[in-house]
Chains A and B, each alone.
Chain A
């Protein structure tokens, strides 16, 4: 089985490639990347005026299954991923049961084997039941294929326990992903603390609740040889702390999500719960700092923090509604619209943030179009525009902060493991 991709602008930062080239895919691998490949192929894709990149690795996705199949399933979530050019997702562990034991990881792997249409990597919990009390058996879970651990949704409050977790993770070479939030400081908050919380009459989430915990997590990790990755960086101070740590040579990486560079806190003033997430949308200064952090390399990756919720959980009073927004189908276009158009990132940077860097952080053999690499590829039209419409969203939940927005960049083909998986075959 061969696929020949003709005349696309191939951008593969791992191999310092950025030019119009052809790619030949043979079975599940990349067989050739060159000009004017003359080969017989079952499928030929004319990618003129399109950009060809390694398939995206979204390292922060809530697939909700098992446990909350009413919000999303592995099947619907991975379909949404493919439509967004994402060929690998890291499934976050706040499922029921959560991946804190061999049994629960096996259960999840079974569902994935039966239902997933893109690569799904499993992020294990840090503590049993994500309760912050007892560390899981990291070695055992690693044998089951768990590549990272996180208690995402919450932070491990105990310094002692977190230090222990870092030590054990370092020994097993498993990356620790931190949802850095001090709940004592954010207690009950639903929007950014300041004018927004005051004007809306809502409890605020201070930036300190985030950056103080970012600081702690980096400091604890530094005492071990653990690789620490900070999830969903939303504010200026966090960007500053991570930049300083990197300058010191500490092993820390981080991600941000499209809503933190595309939207600021003013979006939430109308009490639309599609702008309610944790951490909350921050100030204009913070958005600027996140963009600068992306540009200067402080922020390594863009991940969606895809967090599907049903209408019943979203279309209620603001304070009672769930935190989180979906993002798999819009992340590429949001990034093109906000970061490429304004010159903040170059195309090569975009390929790094969406594919190469997350693959490297997670130590998975993805994120590149090198010869012999697994053929996970996204092909998109960078200039085509589309309007995000609720009816067209593939995710089971529709809680997108980009509803009604016109975005740039349309995914034309997604290839996963050497097969064209998007557009979907009937």
Chain B
């Protein structure tokens, strides 16, 4: 969508239909795309580290649109853009991220981006969904949702995926909503103007109540709009950087 707004030519390659399944490696696919004379690859991939691996093996630009549990930089940028638009600043803000931190690339990228810009980040989840040593990334861990919301200027609520095949421990949906769901009652105890974000799509009644999702504090639809602008900006900057390189070489 962002690329179309910029009038770029877009080829979509879904791995199910492409040769990745037939034994072609990610690097082969990347080199083939390069041979098609593409300038930028935007890739979402199930495996952590796939984007950096691809970037190392092709000369064209790679935009990481999400890799495994590792990073989702454009989502973090649009979240940060939305925060700045709504609250006027990032430095000094208290941002709470609620949900499956362990398996979330959105959480990791938000922690990197927000802490770098001077915000304080709190992560809140059941113990089993907090990865070890997350504090070393600059986040504070609070397991009690009400405590985690009390000073928050914003709460970023992650999408929960309950179906996992790895056999890892995971909470029950209803229990999760009871203990960590964002509800009007819980928001009443938080700052009045707290903003509520979600990377979408929302599981209503699991991560937050419908009342909150559609309520006055929610900026979820603005996030969608901002997403296009931010992604356009990313593509524009990457393209410009490429042109710059070509000129200097």
Contact = CB atoms under 8 A, between A and B. Distances in A.
Contacts of A319: 47-48, 68
Contacts of A188: 166
A144 B225 CA distance: 73
B26 A200 contact: no
A193 interface: yes
Nearest to A190: B48
Interface in A78-133: none
A372 interface: no
Contacts of A194: 132-133
Contact of A320 (B47, B134, B137): B47
A305 B166 CA distance: 29
A316 interface: yes
B136 interface: yes
A271 B105 CA distance: 16
Contacts of B48: 200-202, 271, 318-319
Nearest to A273: B53
Given A318-B49, A319-B47, A319-B48, A201 B137 contact: no
Nearest to B102: A198
B92 interface: no
Interface string B193-237: 000000000000000000000000000000000000000000000
A107 B120 CA distance: 64
Give the most central of A188, A197, A270, A317: most B CB within 10 Å. Answer: A317
A198 B26 contact: no
A312 interface: yes
B45 to A, nearest CB: 8
Contacts of B45: 317
B149 to A, nearest CB: 24
Given A194-B133, A318-B47, A200 B27 contact: no
Interface in B95-137: 102, 105, 108, 131-134, 136-137
A315 interface: yes
A312 B132 contact: no
Interface string A298-332: 00000000000000100111111000000000000
Give the most central of A201, A204, A270: most B CB within 10 Å. Answer: A201
A198 B52 contact: no
B53 A197 contact: no
Contacts of B137: 195, 198-199
Contacts, number: 66
B133 A271 contact: no
Contacts of B53: 271, 315, 317-318
Contact of B25 (A193, A197, A316): A316
Nearest to B132: A194
Given A270-B52, A317-B50, A201 B133 contact: no
Contacts of A270: 52
A187 B168 CA distance: 10
Interface string B57-77: 100000000011111000000
A264 to B, nearest CB: 15
Contacts of A318: 47-49, 53
A200 B49 CA distance: 7
A320 B166 CA distance: 15
A199 B138 CA distance: 11
Nearest to A320: B47
A317 B47 contact: yes
A317 B48 CA distance: 8
B133 A202 contact: no
B16 to A, nearest CB: 16
A193 B57 CA distance: 28
Contacts of B25: 312, 315-316
Given A194-B132, A198-B131, A201-B48, 9 more contacts: A194-B133, A195-B136, A197-B131, A198-B102, A271-B53, A315-B57, A317-B47, A319-B47, A319-B48
Interface of B: 25-27, 45, 47-50, 52-53, 57, 67-71, 102, 105, 108, 131-134, 136-137, 166-167
Interface of A: 187-188, 193-195, 197-202, 204, 270-271, 312, 315-320
23 contacts: A187-B167, A194-B132, A194-B133, A195-B133, A195-B136, A197-B132, A198-B131, A198-B132, A198-B136, A199-B137, A201-B67, A201-B68, A201-B108, A202-B49, A202-B68, A204-B132, A315-B57, A316-B25, A316-B26, A317-B50, A317-B53, A318-B49, A319-B68
